Amino acid sequence: MGQQLAGKVAIVTGGSRGIGAGIAKRLAAQGATVAVTYQASADRAEELVKEIDSQGGQAVALRVDSADGAAVRAGITEVAQRFGKVDILVNNAGVAVVAPIDQIDERHYERMVSVNLHAVFHASQEVLKHMGEGGRIITIGSVNADRVHFPGGSVYALTKAGVAGFTRGLAREVGSRGITVNTVQPGPVDTDMNPADGPFAAYTVPLLATGRYGTPDEVAGLVAYLAGPDAAYLTGATVNIDGGYTA
């Protein structure tokens, strides 16, 4: 797989499971030191760290509630102080409540906006204090920013469209520093939050050109490319990896 990220320090928020864990493992396999944050899944985060360490990588896990802006900033600072810098930030943490607009209460709305949108701002602003030339900021959005084929996804789509716009604006601000900023928008991916045999699959799979859900490892491969040296001229982009869902 190569060590194109050797010497790099990466942070993956919400990295204890699913897409985040896949990304953490791929970045570590390519040589990066990886810090993963988690909110509740301490056991899974520690298992991930042990798995990466057992394969010759280096990883640490930090408990950070992405809904708490101060905690997000403190986590970034802790990683930077421990390893001396941060080269790669992957804003992966996300939550979704699927319900008609008149059934989403203020608590659900605030948490989705806080985790999916505000945390991206807090982490990105903070990490830029510790990131130099060649830095990478990659946010995991969703194709639901472009298309929502089911009822009840309006607020989730709002948050994911927001980060795509933020990416484009931020890329303009930091391009002269040699830092790239991109959004990856996965389509349906087989995770415990949205399993390929789950309740959404029956009416989702027919919409996919590939006829199947994606895997966390496939998303991780795209993120690793964006994090690496070959993607230095790619910035301000929204890249869909969705099995043809938006084709």
pLDDT digits (tens, 9 = 90+) for 150-208: 999 999 999 999 999 999 999 999 999 999 999 999 999 999 888 999 988 988 999 99
Q: What is the pLDDT of residues 31-41, one digit of tens each?
A: 999 999 999 98
Q: What DSSP element (H or E) covers 43?
A: helix 42-54
Report which of residues 77 and 1 the model is more confident about. Answer: 77
DSSP-assigned letter for residue 214: B
| pLDDT score, position 230 | 97
Domain boundaries, the chain: 9-239
Q: Cβ distance 205 to 149 under 8 Å?
A: no
pTM: 0.97
Q: Give the pLDDT confidence of 4-21 residue by residue, as tens digits.
A: 999 999 999 999 999 999
Q: Which of 156, 203, 213, 225 is catalytic?
A: 156
Query: Residue 1's pLDDT band (boundaries 50, 70, 90)?
Result: low
Any bridge partners for residue 37, and if so which?
Answer: 62
User: Given a cut of 90, is residue 66 above it in pLDDT?
Assistant: yes
Q: Most distant CA pair in the chain: distance in Å?
A: 50
Which CATH code for domain 9-239? 3.40.50.720
Is 156 a catalytic site residue?
yes
